[in-house]
């Protein structure tokens, strides 16, 4: 009897276990079903043949289909044709056991026909016997991020005003063509186009009219050229063109056509439009310099641009509205003589204290007060004439004199900070450095020694390097910046956004200030894309605990927009022009004592020619 009772008890226990197991299995299935169907991201179950066995609501909503339109259908029906093969390869790898999951970005075709980019994670589910049962995938829509990255890439490679390629992209194209020339033989030409009388047009008709004319000419140039030709705007009223093919006669024909395009675009479209004639005998025309690669099969892209520039100035000196061809026998001597003359002038200035520093305020957008000053270099020749940096820094860079200039600037800056502290002023300076100075041990020793001797707090010095220079010398830049940080100095990454890898390199460059390139600032009041990019830079800098500075701020409306986007500081002619530091400080004192906001934009007169160039100090 007892054995029978024990048998009954065993049966009851077995039934109980089975019920518990079934309940647990049902609970697990229900949990999976709810998790699958209610997931906020797309979920699919794909059979071993690649068809959709099951899809959830989020996946259907993402792609604009109903459940019954997808269930039982092959996956390649809604996959972009260019991604079908990659899907099949991923499934084969998983089935072969070479991987347990696959993650990548792919494209789907929405029910309405447009493309959806998605981040897709696929996992192969196997049974208890190890045999494959089905694939399960998680799908997240990343179209917005993809579009944003595409806009970033476009902005990094194109001129903000005209949409043409910018200097960085042009140099890349010229470098590639120069490499082809060295390998396969000389062909093609570089054309440098500069507008005649454009400054007068700008001064009399206004900068908006000038921008409109630049845009029209840029569009006309692009429409005239072949798809294989390259046209870029270098800034201002200067365009450069690369014609990869064609003989000399064809190149000259293109130059004549370009001259005609500029004449046509400078004429009024309507009676109320801006006039092409801007004064007695003054019409906006063009001067074009031509340099053919056949002049030297070893010619670099940089040398080709210099040669085209020399020829362009010959055309301009001859009265403009014409082209001139670079001839090595005629221009090479002038180029060499010019470089020798500049080298002598620069070396003389280094030895005889022939440089001077101007200061431009960087204004806090919180209280509209100058937070620090960027130091801008000028040189005086032996006759005492002021020479703008754009005229001599390029030669200094080529001849290796930029390090000596950077040391001079740094020494003078620290001495000035010490002198100002002695009279009770605590100010901050931004000092530009050239890319080749990064890693200069002598400069680091100079900074260390002089800070110790003067007792100037290191954080009053903000060293600034252009993003393109920092990226070009990334390893040296990172080590140099770390050394500066160890001393207690600050670092600013200048012209942020000028390089395609801008956001990538932020991981490796220890910066304190992010200076947003003026190309994004100048037209942000009218351009929504520029505002989007500025906002992105602000968010990233803020998340990293850094500050942002907007460059080249043109007017009050832009200041208001930048403040609304969260930019911390701004500089530009509207907020303060380059002037002697003593003038800025005196104006600031006067306004402070009068109870007014000490912004110093009225210091320097509005010089003819518009904005002064502000390249790095060396």
Is 376 domain-assigned?
yes
pLDDT at residue 474, rounded to an integer: 63
For residue 393, is pLDDT > 90? Answer: no
Contacts of residue 223, Cβ cutoff 8 Å, sequence gap at least 6 = none
189 and 126 within one domain: no
CA distances to 143, 248, 525 from 42, rounded to whole Å, are 14, 59, 38
For residue 75, is pLDDT > 80? Answer: yes
How many domains does the chain fold into? 4
Q: What is the mean pLDDT of residues 186-191?
A: 89
CB 361 within 8 A of CB 551: no
Q: Domain of 18?
A: 1-36
pLDDT at residue 486, rounded to an integer: 92
For residue 280, is pLDDT > 70? Answer: no
For residue 135, is pLDDT > 90? Answer: yes
Q: What is the mean pLDDT of residues 355-379?
A: 92
Q: Quick one: tokens of 520?
A: 């994004």
424 and 394 within one domain: yes
Write out pLDDT tens, residues 32-61: 677 788 788 899 999 999 999 999 999 999
Higher pLDDT, 602 or 335: 335
**Three-state secondary structure call for residue 547:** strand
Contacts of residue 186, Cβ cutoff 8 Å, sequence gap at least 6 = 292, 293, 294, 297
51 and 20 within one domain: no
119 and 202 within one domain: no
Is the pTM above the cut of 0.85? no
Number of H helices, E strands in the chain: 21, 21
pLDDT at residue 334, rounded to an integer: 62
CB 240 within 8 A of CB 288: no
pLDDT at residue 359, rounded to an integer: 93
| Least-confidence region, from 374-378, 527-531, 583-587 | 583-587
365 and 265 within one domain: no
154 and 93 within one domain: no
CA-based torsion, 400, 401, 407, 410: positive or negative: negative
CB 67 within 8 A of CB 77: no
Q: How far apart are CA 90 and CA 79, in angstroms?
A: 14
pLDDT more than 70, % of the chain: 81
267 and 135 within one domain: no
Which H helix or E strand runs over 462? strand 461-466
For residue 607, is pLDDT > 60? Answer: no
**Three-state secondary structure call for residue 484:** helix
The mean of the pLDDT values for the chain is 81
pLDDT at residue 440, rounded to an integer: 83
- Write out the E strands in 197-266: 230-235, 238-243
CB 139 within 8 A of CB 118: yes
pLDDT at residue 22, rounded to an integer: 64
Is 524 domain-assigned?
yes
Write out pLDDT tens, residues 467-491: 666 655 566 777 888 888 999 999 9
CA distances to 6, 8, 30, 413 from 19, rounded to whole Å, are 20, 16, 16, 84
Q: How far apart are CA 88 and CA 70, in angstroms?
A: 18
pLDDT at residue 29, rounded to an integer: 65
CA-based torsion, 533, 534, 537, 540: positive or negative: negative
531 and 577 within one domain: yes
For residue 337, is pLDDT > 70? Answer: no
Is 350 domain-assigned?
no
pLDDT more than 90, % of the chain: 38
pLDDT at residue 298, rounded to an integer: 63
Q: How far apart are CA 308 and CA 475, in angstroms?
A: 33
* Residue 290: DSSP 8-state: E
For residue 265, is pLDDT > 90? Answer: no
Say which CATH number the domain at 124 has.
3.30.450.20
Higher pLDDT, 43 or 594: 43
Instruction: Please identify, among 79, 111, 141, the residue that sits at the C-terminal boundary of a domain.
Output: 141
pLDDT at residue 40, rounded to an integer: 86
524 and 394 within one domain: yes
Instruction: Give the number of other Cβ atoms within 10 Å of residue 238's Cβ.
Output: 17
Q: Up-side HSE of residue 522: CA atoms within 13 Å toward CB?
A: 16
Is 544 domain-assigned?
yes
Q: What is the mean pLDDT of residues 116-143?
A: 91
45 and 25 within one domain: no
Q: 387-398 burial by CB neighbour count: b if 16+ within 10 A, else e? A: bbbeebbbbbbe
Q: How far apart are CA 120 and CA 142, in angstroms?
A: 10
Is 332 domain-assigned?
no
CA-based torsion, 487, 446, 401, 361: positive or negative: positive
286 and 157 within one domain: yes
Is 334 domain-assigned?
no
Say which CATH number the domain at 259 has.
3.30.70.270
Is 222 domain-assigned?
yes
Higher pLDDT, 299 or 46: 46
Residue of 323, 324, 325, 328 lying closest to 299 (CA atoms)? 328
Is 616 domain-assigned?
no
Write out pLDDT tens, residues 486-540: 999 999 988 776 544 456 556 667 789 999 988 789 889 888 888 988 998 898 8
pLDDT at residue 272, rounded to an integer: 42
249 and 226 within one domain: yes
Q: Quick one: tokens of 608?
A: 């003819």
């Amino acid at each position: 009897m007892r054995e029978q009772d024990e048998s009954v008890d065993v049966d009851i226990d077995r039934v109980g276990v089975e019920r518990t197991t079934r309940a647990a299995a049902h609970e697990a299935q229900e949990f999976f079903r709810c998790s699958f169907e209610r997931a906020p991201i797309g979920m699919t179950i794909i059979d071993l043949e690649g068809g959709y066995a099951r899809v959830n609501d989020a996946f259907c909503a993402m792609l604009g289909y109903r459940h019954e339109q997808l269930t039982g259908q092959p996956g390649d029906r809604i996959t972009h044709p260019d991604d079908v093969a990659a899907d099949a390869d991923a499934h084969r790898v998983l089935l072969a056991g070479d991987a347990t999951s696959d993650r990548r970005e792919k494209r789907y075709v929405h029910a309405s026909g447009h493309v959806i980019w998605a981040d897709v994670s696929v996992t192969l589910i196997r049974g208890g016997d190890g045999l494959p049962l089905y694939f399960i995938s998680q799908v997240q829509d990343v179209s917005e991020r993809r579009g944003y990255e595409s806009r970033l890439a476009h902005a990094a490679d194109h001129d903000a005003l005209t949409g043409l390629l910018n200097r960085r992209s042009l140099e890349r194209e010229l470098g590639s063509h120069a490499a082809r020339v060295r390998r396969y033989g000389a062909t093609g030409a570089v054309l440098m186009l500069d507008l005649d009388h454009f400054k007068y047009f700008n001064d009399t008709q206004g900068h908006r009219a000038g921008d409109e004319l630049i845009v029209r000419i840029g569009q006309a140039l692009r429409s005239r050229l072949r798809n294989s030709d390259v046209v870029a705007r270098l800034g201002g009223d200067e365009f450069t063109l690369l014609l990869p093919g064609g003989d000399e006669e064809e190149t000259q024909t293109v130059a004549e056509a370009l001259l005609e395009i500029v004449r046509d675009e400078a004429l009024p479209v309507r009676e109320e439009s801006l006039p092409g004639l801007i004064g007695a005998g003054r019409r906006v025309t063009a001067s074009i310099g031509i340099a053919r690669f056949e002049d030297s099969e070893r010619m670099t892209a940089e040398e080709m641009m210099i040669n085209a520039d020399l020829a362009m100035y010959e055309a301009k000196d001859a009265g403009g509205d014409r082209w001139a061809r670079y001839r090595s026998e005629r221009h090479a001597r002038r180029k060499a003589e010019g470089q020798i003359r500049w080298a002598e002038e620069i070396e003389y200035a280094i030895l005889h204290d022939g440089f001077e520093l101007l200061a431009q305020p960087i204004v806090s957008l919180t209280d509209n007060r100058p937070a620090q000053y960027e130091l801008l270099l000028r040189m005086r020749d032996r006759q005492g004439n002021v020479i703008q940096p754009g005229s001599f820094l390029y030669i200094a860079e080529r001849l290796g004199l930029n390090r000596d200039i950077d040391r001079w600037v740094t020494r003078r800056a620290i001495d000035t900070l010490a002198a100002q502290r002695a009279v009770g002023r605590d100010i901050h300076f931004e000092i530009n450095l050239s890319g080749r100075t990064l890693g200069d041990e002598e400069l680091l020793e100079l900074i260390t020694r002089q800070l110790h001797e003067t007792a100037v707090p290191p954080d009053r010095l903000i060293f600034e390097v252009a993003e393109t220079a920092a990226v070009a010398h990334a390893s040296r830049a990172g080590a140099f910046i770390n050394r500066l940080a160890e001393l207690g100095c600050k670092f600013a990454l200048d012209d942020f956004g000028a390089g395609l890898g801008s956001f990538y390199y932020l991981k490796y460059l220890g910066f304190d200030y992010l200076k947003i390139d003026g190309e994004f600032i100048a037209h942000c009041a009218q351009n929504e894309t520029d505002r989007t990019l500025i906002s992105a830079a602000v968010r990233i800098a803020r998340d990293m605990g850094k500050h942002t500075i907007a460059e080249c701020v043109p007017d009050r409306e832009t200041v208001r927009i930048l403040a609304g986007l969260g930019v911390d500081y701004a500089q530009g002619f509207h907020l303060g022009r380059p002037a002697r530091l003593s003038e800025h400080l005196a104006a600031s004192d006067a306004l402070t004592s009068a109870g007014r906001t000490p912004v110093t934009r009225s210091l320097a007169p509005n010089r003819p020619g518009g904005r002064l160039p502000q390249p790095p100090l060396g």
